[in-house]
Structure 1
Amino acid sequence: MDGTLDVERIELGAEIVVVRRLESDDEARACARIMATSEPWMTLGRGYEASLEILHDPSRETYVARTDNEVVGFVILSMRGAFVGYIQTIALRHDWRGRGLGTKLIAFVERRILRDAPNVFLCVSSFNTRARALYERLGYQVVGELRDYVVRGHSEWLLRKSVAPLADWTTSRGQLAFEPRRDLE
């Protein structure tokens, strides 16, 4: 088992949004269009082709948020590397922003990550003050600033939400997330 969640139904008033793994090229193209035509990705220079490439990266987990017939948002996360539990991208169609879906998607992906890691990481662009305020409201703390990280003149703020140190964390499979070195004791 890779720790992924199956499907989640989110009720937003009269609307039902289903969140599940990305399944098709059509969905990937819809997600790439959302990313390439909205902020912060336009300022960061991420066009359609680059967005599509990220969505097809097999080392990432991508979850789509769908109504009956259309993709309205998505989230990409990484469960590998130094920052296990890194939310690489969260994006909503413009007409779905401010309706609570972003908060619900973050909660969904946090549950996914916290099955296998005690920390959730994400970066937010310095000019994306509304998103940063949301993340801080949800309990994320600024870890540091990465100046001129993606584009000159803008910083990325690294944020973290933590429930335990790595050395104390047991995954959903009953394994320690981090095996401390015993030869140093």
Structure 2
Amino acid sequence: MATADEARQCAQMMCTTDPWITIGRGFEECLGIVKIPGREVYVSEENGQVRGFVIVNMGGAFIGYIQILCVHDSVRGTGLGTRLIRFAEERIFREAPNVFICASSFNPRARALYERLGYQLVGELKDFVIAGESEILLRKTIGPLRPK
């Protein structure tokens, strides 16, 4: 991410879009997420306005985790989300054989998109973020961490 203005635009987009509305994340919390050190934030802009972004985490237990995918309501259904995911996949697959992503159980459109792009169910994290809801962990792979 190049500028503080981009970070603010990303946070504003997040806090006014599901699943973050349902999760209850406000602007300041979203801004904090966008600015987490060590995360890679890739932004798609049009005329100086952020239209979508993806945050990649290359550390932790799930190396190659797409932590956030957010697309502005005005460009949903145009393929921007798919392009951002594919961009993130290309970046991740240069270093790791797996890409992980989560979809909230109350966000079936996201899960359907991920499955159309070849992601497969890994598991369900019940009551992980919101009581009575689940986070669905999915993975796309080009091979194991350690081939034979």
Out of 55, 61, 72, the position equivalent to 1:82 is: 61
Which residue is equivalent to 1:159?
Answer: 138
SS at match of 1:43: helix
For 1:80 and 1:168, the matched residues in 2 are separated by: 20
TM-score (norm: length of structure 2)? 0.98
Q: What TM-score, normalized to structure 1?
A: 0.78
Does residue 58 (structure 1) correspond to residue 58 (structure 2)? The answer is no
Counterpart CA distance in 2 for 1:166 and 1:69 is 39
1:69 aligns with 2:48: yes
Q: Say yes or no: does 1:106 pair with 2:85.
A: yes
Which of the numbers 84, 106, 120 marks the counterpart of 1:127?
106
Q: Per-residue deviation at 1:124?
A: 0.3
Task: Give me the identity figure in percent.
Answer: 57
Residue of structure 1 in register with 2:75 after alignment: 96
Number of equivalences: 148
How far apart, in 2, do the equivalents of 1:121 and 1:104 lie? 16
Letter matched to residue 133 of structure 1: A
Which structure has the larger Rg over C-alpha atoms?
1
Query: How big is the shift at 1:59?
Result: 1.5
Residue identity in the other structure for 1:73: G
In structure 1, how many angstroms separate the alpha carbons of the residues matched to 2:119 and 2:140? Answer: 5
Relative contact order higher in (CA < 8 Å, ≥ 6 apart): 2
- In the aligned structure 2, how far is the partner of 1:42 from the partner of 1:138? 25
Which runs of structure 1 show a deviation greater than 2 angstroms over 4 or more consecutive aligned residues?
A: none
Q: Report the alpha carbon displacement of residue 57 of structure 1 after superposing the two structures with TM.
A: 0.9
| Aligned-partner SS, 1:113 | helix
Structure 1: how far apart are the matches of 2:147 and 2:81? 30
* 1:46 Cα deviation after fit: 1.2
Q: Which amino acid aligns with 1:110?
A: E
* Partner secondary structure for residue 36 of structure 2: coil
Q: CA deviation at 1:45?
A: 1.3
CA distance in 2, matches of 1:67, 1:162: 31
- Structure 2 match to 1:48: 27
Unaligned runs of 5+ in 2: none
Indicate the RMSD between aligned Cα atoms, in angstroms.
Answer: 1.0
Deviation at 1:168, TM superposition (A): 2.5
SS in 1 for 2:13: helix
CA distance in 2, matches of 1:136, 1:101: 16
Cross-structure match for 1:39: 18
SS at match of 1:166: coil
1:147 aligns with 2:126: yes
AA aligned opposite 1:29: R
